[in-house]
Amino acid sequence: MITTVQYNSRKLQIDLTKPIDISIPIRASKNNVNAWYIDEPKIEPVKDGEWTASVKNGACVNFNNIHFNPHAHGTHTECAGHITEKVHSINQNLKQFFFLAEVITVAPERLNGDSVISKKQIQFILGNKKRDAVVIRTLPNTRKEKWSKQYSHTNPPYLLEDAAVYLREKGVKHLLIDLPSVDKEKDECQLLAHHAFWNTKEKLRLDATITEFIYVSNKIEDGMYFLNLQIAPFENDATPSKPILYKIIT
């Protein structure tokens, strides 16, 4: 079903029957993607004495408890409350869910023994494009690795502070990336890119979000898309999320 969407002053045609899911699901498996030094997610039926809430075990329903951490176990969207003393909920601060997005592919460069994404790299790709959201796919990029990598103690690539400042000053409100964090794994809690993107030293950008642990298939071309940023309604700094891209026909 092709529909015309009025977005700001632009009319966009998108095909709602062809969503492109760039989320990584949470699975009860040691092969689930993982970071931040914790165990894998658990999805288990409720037990009450000898009764187990599983149809397979004789119950009339499946009734599971789910134990996970949104930051560590899959695609999640977070707000500035992730790094502020005052509690801010993603559910209270993300009030719009459709955005004009640019998908870009970046090969992190080496700097002082780390793999980093710099302002120069992003600036070269984006040029004068104005987008609400930027979706960053890093290279190398395989589904097997991005869906199951155990990131703890691996020092994965990260965004340099100047790159986050550039995106903020360019007016990007929503940053999506296929890494466990926009910041270095062990940085003595500086979180430079988080602070820069949310502008914590000046006017806090409570309407801006960072989505981490996405997976953008190599079949998806770089370019402009219509983004639907779906979140679960958790009153927390972060929540599992399901970003969906739609190709823009005209």
Owner of token pair 């964090």: 181
Q: What is the pLDDT of residue 10?
A: 83
- Classify residue 50: in a domain, yes or no: no
Q: pTM of the entire structure?
A: 0.97
Range of the domain at 137: 2-27+70-247
Q: What is the pLDDT of residue 8?
A: 82
Residues 6 or more apart in contact with residue 120 via CB below 8 angstroms = none
- Classify residue 75: in a domain, yes or no: yes
Q: What is the pLDDT of residue 6?
A: 84
Residue percentage of the chain with pLDDT more than 70: 100
Pseudo-torsion of CA 69, 75, 77, 82, nearest 10°?
A: 40
Confidence of residue 2 (pLDDT cuts 50, 70, 90): confident
| Predicted confidence (pLDDT) per residue in 203-226, tens digit | 999 999 999 999 999 999 999 999
Question: Which tokens belong to 60?
Answer: 């009339």
CB atoms within 10 A of CB 94: 21
CATH number at residue 216: 3.50.30.50
Distance between alpha carbon 112 and the CA centroid of its chain, in Å?
Answer: 26
Owner of token pair 């988080």: 194
- Number of domains comprising the chain: 1
Higher-confidence residue of 6 and 167: namely 167
**What CA–CA distance (Å, rounded) separates 213 from 182?**
10
- Classify residue 207: in a domain, yes or no: yes
- Classify residue 65: in a domain, yes or no: no
| Predicted confidence (pLDDT) per residue in 183-208, tens digit | 999 999 999 999 999 999 999 999 99
Q: What is the pLDDT of residue 250?
A: 74
Helix-strand-coil percent breakdown of the chain, rounded to 5? 15, 35, 50
- Classify residue 42: in a domain, yes or no: no
| Predicted confidence (pLDDT) per residue in 165-174, tens digit | 999 999 999 9
- Classify residue 62: in a domain, yes or no: no
Sheet holding 114-117, edge to edge: 109-111, 114-117, 158-159
Mean residue pLDDT across the chain: 97
For residue 218, give the nearest of 144, 119, 122, 110 by alpha carbon.
144
- Classify residue 51: in a domain, yes or no: no
Mean pLDDT of 111-125: 97
- Classify residue 216: in a domain, yes or no: yes
| Predicted confidence (pLDDT) per residue in 64-94, tens digit | 999 999 999 999 999 999 999 999 999 999 9
